[in-house]
Amino acid sequence: MRIFVAIDIPKVEKIIHIQNQIMKQYEFVQYHVRFINKYNLHLTIMFLGEKTDFAVREIISNLKRLDFDPFEIRFTNVGCFPKNSNPSVIWMGLDNQSSKKLNDLYGAISKLLEKDIGYGKETQNDFSEEKSVYVPHLTIFRINRHFKSRISFDPVFQFDPFTDEICQIKLKRSMLTADGPIYSDLFTIDARA
């Protein structure tokens, strides 16, 4: 099964409001630009790929040792990948302090998984340091691949920054379907009380 470590976003109504504002301001056609469903809004911490049931049990066992305090993240800006003139993804970004917290969390999870099951060792290559930079972001739109060349996105869109409190980290399963991915929770790690 395909799995990843992620954080669900509690304040989805704010995200939906921003998605609607962006659609209106940039005059996107809904057939060209696909909303990320409110049930699928999450910050990916680490994509682990295809794993066997045995490997998933090992990952869960390792993640049980993750210890973290609740923390706040602050959404402040929007952007896109790979470039403004031909985007595949439009995302919401975080302030520097939030990005640092998420990078620290990424580092802690990497150490837990690398030590016990070798996560990362088999995927290392000559460019791994450059390619493995973790950039925390919340994907809010995917661009239909047939229309990428018709879409341009200038990330000057302004919104009132807002915070969200993070109290859980989840190991999730991703099932790919013709209508997009379906995510389900496999394991939840709660922050210290």
- Choosing from 17, 32, 42, 146, the catalytic residue is 42
Q: Contact at 8 Å (CB) between 28 and 143?
A: no
Mean pLDDT of 52-67: 95
Question: Does residue 137 carry a catalytic annotation?
Answer: yes
C-alpha count within 13 angstroms, C-beta hemisphere, residue 54: 1
Number of domains making up the chain: 1
Sign of CA dihedral 87, 103, 187, 122: positive
- CATH code: domain of residue 102: 3.90.1140.10
Question: Does residue 42 carry a catalytic annotation?
Answer: yes
Mean pLDDT of 130-142: 81
Residue 124: the pLDDT is 41
- pTM to 2 decimals? 0.86
Residue 122: the pLDDT is 42
- Residue span of the structural domain in which 71 resides: 2-190
Q: Reduced to 3 states, what is the DSSP secondary structure of residue 125?
A: coil
> Which alpha helices (H) appear in the chain, and where do they start and end?
12-25, 53-63, 96-117, 128-131
